Amino acid sequence: MDGAEIRDLPVGRLLAVDERGVGLRLTWHLDRGFLNLSLWRDDRCVETFHVSPAAAADVIAFLVRGLADATAIGVDATVRELRAVATQHSRSVLDRARGSVAEILERASRVLRP
């Protein structure tokens, strides 16, 4: 390995693989002033991109805002679904109660008729 530079990789590394098997690997290289983002297909690195710490912070903020929005949308949808189920359940309970009251009144009217 004449002329090759050997470096220990930092502890922080992340690999995310999608359903097609394409990987995205992030590796910290703060000693060199960047975060290395690389795309992998099978066992081959096909592209790399150096992200400055400031740009990485912008990406993280972007992801956090998006996840917060997605969570809020999900919570709103869940609340709407729960309200719909509760409303349907309330209607069902009221319908059964009306039926029971009608049946009791019917019996009472038969008993009370002279």
Q: DSSP letters of 15-50?
A: EEE-TTSEEEEEEEEGGGTEEEEEEEETTEEEEEEE
* Beta bridge partner(s), residue 80: none
Write down the pLDDT at residue 43: 85
Query: Helix, strand, coil shares of the chain as percentages rounded to 5?
Result: 55, 25, 20
* pLDDT mean values, one per 10 residues, the chain (114 residues): 56 84 89 90 92 90 85 72 78 77 76 70
φ/ψ (deg, to 5) at 45: -80, 120
pTM exceeds cut of 0.85: no
Write down the pLDDT at residue 39: 94
Write down the pLDDT at residue 1: 46
Query: Considering all CA atoms of the chain, what is the largest pairwise distance in Å, rounded to the nearest integer?
Result: 115
Write down the pLDDT at residue 23: 92
